[in-house]
Chain A
Amino acid sequence: MSDTASRNPNGAAQMLADALLRTVAGAEATLKVTGSNPGTDQSQLGLVATTFAEVVVSPVVLRRLKPDWNEGGQSKWELLVSATGVQQAVDVFDVDSAKSLFAMTMAVTVAGQDYLIESIAANEAVGSVYLYRLLLREAGGEAV
């Protein structure tokens, strides 16, 4: 059964999420977004470096997930990102959605460390996203 209660979106959830993120850390993350790719043989063979554009999103909070003890395994991290910050980045790159933006993101940099995106989840209230949760893995310097 659908929820027919009348609740107009007023941005309260977004403002609350932003306030909480700023309160607990208020850090910023840099998304390395792939630029225009010439689509040549060389670019598909690793002969030409793809171009990046960087965009800063904030506020964000990075937290380490419960470590597991697999030999050689890498730590996993969760990045909590403000939806309003992501929307600004979406507008900068003129892409149709946050999903497209994250699909084009090759790495996320927080405090000088690069991370790769493993998966993305979004928290919604009253039909609009107020927080993105990115599951990240540490990248070696050569990975990006």
Chain B
Amino acid sequence: MGMQNAKDSFYVALRGRLAAINPERTVLLRAVVRPGIVVEEAEAPFAQLPPDVFVLRWLGLGYDPDLPSALVAEEAEIVYSTLGTQSFGGLDRGRALTEMDRELVAMLTPLQTPKLNYTATPAAAMLTNVFWDEPVFGSVVALRDRLTRSVRVVVYSYEESGE
């Protein structure tokens, strides 16, 4: 059962869309400035979630073999938090979170992207698409001056030969 290509394609699609939606949202990680979305399991563990960055983590897994092509589903959680901006003394943190909500909806639209194999260089296109449900937004968690929201999306992919 292979879901890695779908996971990789989902992340790269969101990262590319974010760079177009808000080029200012970047993160400096491992000496490189890149769009402000990271795969949690592919980075060093965070002592605390970086603010103003989308953190993608993978949760549940489902598998339906009773189809012409086996369907694999994995639940993605996208967590993001903000403290607002220093120039506003953090009083704009609600507005900053709303802006991240908007960006996330735009990143997830359309609800599909081509599946690519990133173990090849350059990435090799596969035969099917990766597609996903509408996002389910969790409640805002306020911890002192930090607002955090978690959004869940179920990502689907048909298993291709060799996966």
Contacts and interface: CB of A to CB of B under 8 A. Distances in A.
Given A45-B11, A45-B42, A116 B34 contact: no
A50 B42 contact: no
A119 B48 CA distance: 9
Interface residues of A, number: 23
Interface secondary structure of A, over-half rule: mixed
Interface string A114-141: 0011110000000000000000000000
Contacts of A36: 31
A144 to B, nearest CB: 8
Interface string B34-58: 1000110110110100000000000
A41 B8 CA distance: 9
B119 A47 contact: yes
Contacts of B123: 41
A18 to B, nearest CB: 27
Interface of A: 34-39, 41-47, 50, 104, 106-107, 116-119, 143-144
B43 to A, nearest CB: 8
Interface secondary structure of B, over-half rule: mixed
A39 to B, nearest CB: 4
Contact of B42 (A34, A38, A44): A44
Nearest to A36: B31
Residue picked from A37, A44, A116, A117, most chain B C-beta under 10 Å: A44
16 contacts: A34-B31, A37-B32, A38-B32, A41-B12, A41-B123, A44-B11, A44-B39, A44-B42, A45-B12, A45-B42, A45-B118, A47-B118, A47-B119, A117-B47, A119-B47, A143-B44
Nearest to A143: B45
A133 B121 CA distance: 43
A39 B19 CA distance: 15
B47 A118 contact: yes
A6 B15 CA distance: 53
A116 B47 contact: yes
B154 to A, nearest CB: 20
